[in-house]
């Protein structure tokens, strides 16, 4: 029986491959796969077999049916291609335009953010996204067991601990680049500050809801030099806000707390719809952008910078949230950005 099925399959495929017209292919389809076709003929013999052979033979028949179906489809295509080639061809007819994609919205936002900061003298830096605890927390004035660490809902890696640098983590924020950048400018042969860094990288946290994704991007600014004050921070943020969001938008600083900046602020931007007057969308007239502050002396110390000579400011914002706050964009769920829904992505 098994041999009979194998022969039927081979003969059918050989015959189908020799057919020259679609009518002949249709006839062969009936002959093999039709209700009274040869495949059904062998299928009807299954109940007469010993029970333990039935499933093996059934599987062979199914495989043969599939192979014959594939051969029929391939032969139809072959015949159609041959017929089309004999048709008259006009080479002057314009071809089909290939679909052109575009950079992802987050990549577009990253490029725009980098170029705005480049205009005012910042250099783009990149630091590891799989990082030591030391750079992600400890050097940022957050010793082990400090409760502030909880806010970062961190992914820890199951790898051996380093005696000085601690465990490995997926960077929960781009602030890991602060002490790394300070080390870069203080390690010989570099001669120390000034620093004007913009660090844009992926961050990871155990969060997912309408305003949180587990993998997102932050851009972190760090400026360290002699005589840096809050005025420089506010001026930099205003410059960025006007260039990115439009000249009518303003920023404001609200007192806040971060372990690595003192004083610390949350930065808000005036709402793009009501421009600060208050509306249904924003309620208060302001939308929250991210954190900022003056670099804490302990952080400067961890980066080998003398806090009696130098001071600095830092800020860290989410790229996705910043992009969502652009005027005219009404995105209700941050996860849409990573849903790969082409109906959404093609609009931009």
d(CA 9, CA 5): 6
Q: Does 290 bind ligand FA5 (CB under 6 A)?
A: yes
Determine the interface stretch with ligand FA5 among 13-21, 60-68, 211-219, 335-343 (rule: CB under 6 A): 211-219
> Which span (192-200, 216-224, 234-242, 298-306) binds ligand FA5, by CB under 6 A?
216-224
Tell me which of 75, 175, 236, 251 binds ligand FA5, using CB under 6 A: 175
**Distance in angstroms (rounded) separating the CA atoms of residues 293 and 285:** 22
In the complex with ligand FA5, which residue's Cβ is closer, 8 or 314?
A: 314
Q: Counting contacts by CB under 6 A, is residue 293 touching ligand FA5? A: yes
316: contact with ligand FA5 by CB under 6 A: yes
Q: Please give the Cα distance from 245 to 237 (Å, whole number).
A: 11
Contact assessment for residue 315 and residue 117, using Cβ atoms and an 8 Å cutoff: no
**Across-strand partners of 166?**
162
Among 179, 213, 224, 305, binds ligand FA5 (CB under 6 A): 213
- Residue 279: how many CA atoms within 13 Å on its side-chain side? 10
Cα–Cα dist 271/75, whole Å: 63
Residue 176 binds to ligand FA5 (criterion: CB under 6 A): no
Rule CB under 6 A: say whether 339 interacts with ligand FA5: no
User: Pick from 292, 294, 305, 324: which binds ligand FA5 (CB under 6 A)?
Assistant: 292
- Cβ contacts of 103 within 8 Å, gap of 6 or more: 111
Is 216 a binding residue for ligand FA5 by CB under 6 A? The answer is yes
User: Which phi and psi (to 5°) does residue 15 adopt?
Assistant: -65, -45
| Positions 80 through 109 that interact with ligand FA5 (CB under 6 A) | none
Q: Where does 226-260 show beta strands of DSSP type E?
A: 251-258
- Do residues 213 and 334 touch, judged by C-beta distance below 8 A? yes
- Among positions 127, 135, 219, 258, the unique one binding ligand FA5 when judged by CB under 6 A: 258
What does the binding site for ligand FA5 look like in residue numbers (CB under 6 A)? 151, 173, 175, 205, 207, 212-213, 216, 218, 220, 258, 261, 290-293, 314-318, 320-321, 334
């Amino acid at each position: 029986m098994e041999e009979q099925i194998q022969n039927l399959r081979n003969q059918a495929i050989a015959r189908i491959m020799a057919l020259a017209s679609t009518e002949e292919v249709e006839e062969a389809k009936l002959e093999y796969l039709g209700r009274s076709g040869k495949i059904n003929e062998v299928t009807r013999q299954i109940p007469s077999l010993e029970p333990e052979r039935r499933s093996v033979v059934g599987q062979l028949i199914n495989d043969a049916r599939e192979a014959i179906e594939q051969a029929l489809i391939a032969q139809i295509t072959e015949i159609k291609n041959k017929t089309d080639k004999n048709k008259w061809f006009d080479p002057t007819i314009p071809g089909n335009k290939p679909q052109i994609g575009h950079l992802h919205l987050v990549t577009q936002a990253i490029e725009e953010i980098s170029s705005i900061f480049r205009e005012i003298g910042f250099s783009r830096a990149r630091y590891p996204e799989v990082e030591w605890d030391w750079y992600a927390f400890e050097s940022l004035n957050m010793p082990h067991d400090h409760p502030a660490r909880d806010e970062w809902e961190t992914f820890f890696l199951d790898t051996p601990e380093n005696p000085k640098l601690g465990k490995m983590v997926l960077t929960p924020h781009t602030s890991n680049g602060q002490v790394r950048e300070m080390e870069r400018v203080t390690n010989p042969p570099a001669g120390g500050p000034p620093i004007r860094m913009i660090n844009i990288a992926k961050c990871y946290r155990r969060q997912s809801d309408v305003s949180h994704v587990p993998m997102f991007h932050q851009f972190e600014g760090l400026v360290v030099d002699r005589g840096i004050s809050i005025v420089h921070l506010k001026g930099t943020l205003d410059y960025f806000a006007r260039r990115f969001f439009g000249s009518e938008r303003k920023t404001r600083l609200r007192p806040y707390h971060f372990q690595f900046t003192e004083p610390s602020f949350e930065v808000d931007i005036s709402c793009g719809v009501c421009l600060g007057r208050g509306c249904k969308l924003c309620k208060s007239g302001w939308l929250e952008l991210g954190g900022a502050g003056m670099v804490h002396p302990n952080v400067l110390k961890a980066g080998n910078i003398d806090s009696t000579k130098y001071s600095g400011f830092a800020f860290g914002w989410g790229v996705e949230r910043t992009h969502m706050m652009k005027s005219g964009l009404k995105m209700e769920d941050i996860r849409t950005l990573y849903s790969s829904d082409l109906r959404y992505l093609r609009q931009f």
